[in-house]
Structure 1
Amino acid sequence: MTSEADTIAYVVLKEFDRLPPKRKPQIRGNGIREWVPLSGIVAKHGDGSFKCLALATGMKCLPATKIPSANGTVLHDWHAEVLAMRMLNHFVLQECKAVAECKDSAYIRRKVDGEPGAQPFHWREDITLHMYCSKTPCGDASMEGTMSAQDDASPWETPLPQHLMDKVDSDSPELALLGRACFSQLGVIRRKPARADAPPTLSKSCSDKIALKQCTSLLNSLTSLLVSPRGVYLSSLILPESQFSATACKRCFTAQGRMAPVRDFQGEWGDGYSFKPFEIQTTELEFEYSSCGSDKEEKAKYVASNLAMAWSCNGLAENVIGGVLQGRKQSDPRGGSAVSRAKMWALATEVAGMVGMGELAHHRGTYGDVKEGKLAAGRRKVKEQVRGAALKGWVRNTGDEAFGLSI
């Protein structure tokens, strides 16, 4: 009998197979195959059926030096897991718009009088969400696999460059960890990218971001102003059996690991927020475009793809290179992905106007003002407490909040 984990993985892999070749890694003229991670978010309906809502590939992020010039247009992080979650949020906002137009949605409903929460929309109670990843998320959950794959398992000792060290507490040496550095320190926040010779960033690892989502839900800051987080949490995370480390995942994601402190204060949150640990399951199914091979000769046949792509079941599909739409420059305002900060803000504002949320619909300040405003106070409290107790060493990736909305 096929397991639920295999079914979820299959649904994502099958949806990716349907995409045209231009969305997929290529075989180069010299025979070298491109590889890329894949992530997808699947809904399980009350009748037991499954549907892929969003999927993405990608493995890059924006250097810290370029964040101030992103201007809401350039993505900060387009690793597959992050891009899939952003695409899910775009899907949710589209569903909210449809409901506001009096259309039916299998996933979103209007708030009923007397229900708690200020958001006008709620996730339907008979839908659960599941994530498949073709590789173990970078960061703490993948450290055992990373160590075992090295010819020399000696920890990298590369510290955070001085211009980034200025942003952190000098009493917290774990803040200097980049990528795969310092194998001896586990359960700590890690930053992308993994390669020691790549430009430094303050983007947190996918392991860290997914761990936090167990508390904030899959909704981002803008979507959570419109939709209650109740029910929008991952029920399961599906990983390949070939890469799975029970020790690493327990340490990274569970209340028996580094998330243990969350149990002490989650009752204070309210607004639909709570600690919702997901179940971690494995599948024997493998993604066709994963990096393969254990020896040097086999690995030499593969090279990382620069192409990322994002897709949703509502018909949106985009290719992304360098954080912007393929074929556009980072300095081109037309290069913004549909899931960029600026375009997600514009969509959220449009929906807010349709349902009479004047404070969001008529806001004329900056993006940062919205995220730091009173509407987002509940979510902000959750993030601050979790980062302070369980995910210590989390340094915010600031510098791209001063842009305004132009629609």
Structure 2
Amino acid sequence: MDNFGDGIAKAVLENFETWERKRKPLDRSSQKDEGLSEKTKPREWVPLSGIVAQRNDKISCVAAATGMKCLPKDKVSKAQGIVVHDWHAEILTIRSLNRFLLEECLDLALSRKAFSEYVRFRSDEEKTETHFQPFALQDGTQLHMYCSEAPCGDASMEITMAAQEDSTPWAHPPSLISGDDENTLHGRGYFSALGAVRRKPSRPDAPPTLSKSCSDKLSAKQSTSLLSSVTSLLISPQNCYLQSLTLPESQYSEVACTRAFSSIGRLAPLHGKDWGDGYSFRPFKILTTSSEFGYSRRQALGSREALVPSNIASLWTPRTSETIIGGTQQGRKQFSIKGASQVSKRRMWVLAVAIANELYLSSPAILSSLKVEKYIEVKNGELLKKRKEVKEDVRSTLKGWQRNNDDESWKDTEVNV
């Protein structure tokens, strides 16, 4: 393949074409609505992201998602592991990948199938006291990501600045200089603060959020791997790192991506870092594609059409699909446990416990770490000590990272039975 980035994009874009129509953005420009002016027929846009698994010459999309919103700061404490905090496409895709890999592990643990194309059991010889996980990604498998838009935050700042009528950098407020205020996590403003940790962007009049930008979260994944805390109790992080990130040519700024993601940018202090037990700093390559997503911000519009953001997010894996509004399954009340997404903290915790139950005889310590009273006890467990060390090193490197911990001290009756 002449351009591997084109191949990655093609795998994700072709997968999106197979989705049900209800999971895609609306094109109201073709609908009759007498209440709309002829000059303001709306068409929706949304970011798309996907993760592709490569093994030998075969590439397959294993997770994909659309979405562009996140939970306001003042609602995080109400989420209780039910509501997803961040449903930007990139983050929803990573959560979906974790769900898919755990479902593959459960089938192996239950002997529903003798072989998984994506995960395998680790031998006793491979495991150590601190590198203990019973599963690993299949040998020779590489993971690649596609994004239809430049990840929000540092990797998109040059593109954002170029889109402004006046791209003159704004003056820093005192709180940015002192670094002792939550304003250090600014959204799209203060363009001259390049390399900074940023909040998810939003309208100036929207409630603030403490969700870090996709650039920041992807930067951290270069050290922690793509696995979540719960998943990393069961699957070794050893080869669960992104090898590349593919962006449309229109969304690629070499300066921004080098600064945001590379070992010669803001992450330079982590260059060559190896924490052991499968964790090391592994910056991904940036690839480009000439392909554009049909529902991107750059879709062609008629003279009487207007482009508006989509309010739905959708996720897909080979095993599940789901539509999310407000961090909850579409059609469900936002903070109702019945509306919890399959990729919510609660559902993922329950799934991990089910796997650990099946492996109890060979891995009792993992079940003990998972079957605790509160979710925060999982995150603070001894088996995740190494992962916490990695995260702390990343956060100290990415100055201004504020924790968003208001949604971890809850219980789940399905776990505590």
TM (normalized to structure 1)?
0.92
Q: Superposition pairs for residues 8-407 of structure 1, below 5 Å?
A: 8-28=8-28, 29=31, 30=36, 31-46=41-56, 48-102=57-111, 103=113, 104-116=115-127, 117-155=131-169, 171-172=179-180, 175-263=183-271, 266-267=273-274, 269-292=275-298, 301-314=306-319, 316-356=320-360, 357-362=363-368, 363-388=371-396, 390-407=397-414
- Matched AA of 1:254: S
Q: Deviations over 1:226-262 (max 9, x none)?
A: 0100110000000000111000000000011011001
Alignment partners' CA distance in 2, 1:278 and 1:300: 38
Change (3 A) 1:328 1:155: farther
Q: Deviations over 1:255-309 (max 9, x none)?
A: 1101100126x23x111000111110000000000012799x9796200000100
Alignment partners' CA distance in 1, 2:413 and 2:304: 46
Alignment partners' CA distance in 2, 1:23 and 1:138: 23
Alignment partners' CA distance in 1, 2:229 and 2:141: 21
Q: Indicate the SS of the match to 1:309.
A: strand
Alignment partners' CA distance in 2, 1:78 and 1:233: 21
TM-superposed deviation, 1:135: 0.3
Change (3 A) 1:159 1:23: farther
TM-superposed deviation, 1:195: 2.6
TM-superposed deviation, 1:39: 0.2
Alignment partners' CA distance in 2, 1:223 and 1:192: 25
Alignment partners' CA distance in 1, 2:241 and 2:63: 15
Alignment partners' CA distance in 2, 1:188 and 1:80: 21
Alignment partners' CA distance in 1, 2:81 and 2:248: 34
Change (3 A) 1:115 1:293: closer
TM (normalized to structure 2)?
0.90
Change (3 A) 1:33 1:403: same
Alignment partners' CA distance in 2, 1:349 and 1:150: 49
Q: Deviations over 1:365-384 (max 9, x none)?
A: 21011001101111100000
Percent of residue pairs bearing the same amino acid type: 50
Change (3 A) 1:380 1:218: same
- Matched AA of 1:395: Q
RMSD of aligned Cα (Å): 2.2
- Matched AA of 1:115: E
Q: Indicate the SS of the match to 2:49.
A: strand
TM-superposed deviation, 1:101: 2.2
Q: Deviations over 1:320-374 (max 9, x none)?
A: 0000000111121101000000000000111111111434435232101100110
Q: Structure 1: which 5+ runs fail to align?
A: none
- Matched AA of 2:338: R
- Matched AA of 1:7: G
Q: Structure 2: which 5+ runs fail to align?
A: none
1:350, 1:361 within 8 Å by CA — same for their partners in 2?
no
TM-superposed deviation, 1:111: 1.0
